[in-house]
């Protein structure tokens, strides 16, 4: 397993945790006094599912379509977290603006990564197998 794969899995897990955790917390904020105690476990479950999906999707022998999808999800996660961190710390823009800009940039990066993953992966064959 490569370090890049672990980085993709970590990024996807962080984004899943944040998105699901905040969504569940805000959804139950009016009905439950401590809705964060519902959001944290839901976010953790989503993070574990996202990490496992990325790790299994980038395993050796996986199909080209699976690698494309996982590359898109993983790159979205990493660029979203990086964009939010950059916007919050360096640029000091409002949260909503940074979320929208990060989502747009991340979506574009995910589409490009999925297209490039389809070109670079050939069903698990290495470059040496295709050339020689």
For the chain, percent of residues with pLDDT exceeding 70:
85
C-alpha span between 74 and 47 (Å, rounded): 12
Contact assessment for residue 50 and residue 19, using Cβ atoms and an 8 Å cutoff: no
Residue 104: is it exposed, middle or buried by C-beta count within 10 angstroms (0-12/13-18/19+)?
A: exposed
Q: Which residue ranges make up each domain of the chain?
A: 3-124
Q: Could you report the per-residue pLDDT of 50-91, keeping only the tens digit for each? A: 888 888 876 666 777 777 887 787 788 778 878 877 887 788
Provide the whole-model pTM.
Answer: 0.59
C-alpha span between 86 and 82 (Å, rounded): 6
- What is the helix (H) or strand (E) element at residue 19, kind and residue range? helix 3-27
């Amino acid at each position: 397993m490569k370090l890049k794969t672990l980085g993709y899995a970590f990024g996807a897990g962080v984004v899943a945790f944040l998105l699901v955790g905040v969504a569940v917390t805000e959804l139950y904020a009016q009905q439950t006094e401590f809705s964060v105690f519902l959001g944290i476990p839901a976010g953790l479950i989503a993070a574990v599912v996202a990490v496992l999906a990325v790790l299994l999707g980038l395993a050796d022998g996986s199909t080209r379509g699976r690698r494309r999808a996982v590359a898109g999800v993983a790159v979205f996660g990493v660029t979203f977290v990086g964009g939010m961190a950059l916007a919050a710390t360096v640029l000091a823009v409002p949260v909503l603006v940074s979320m929208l800009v990060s989502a747009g940039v991340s979506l574009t990066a995910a589409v490009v990564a999925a297209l490039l993953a389809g070109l670079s992966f050939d069903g698990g064959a290495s470059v040496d197998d295709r050339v020689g």
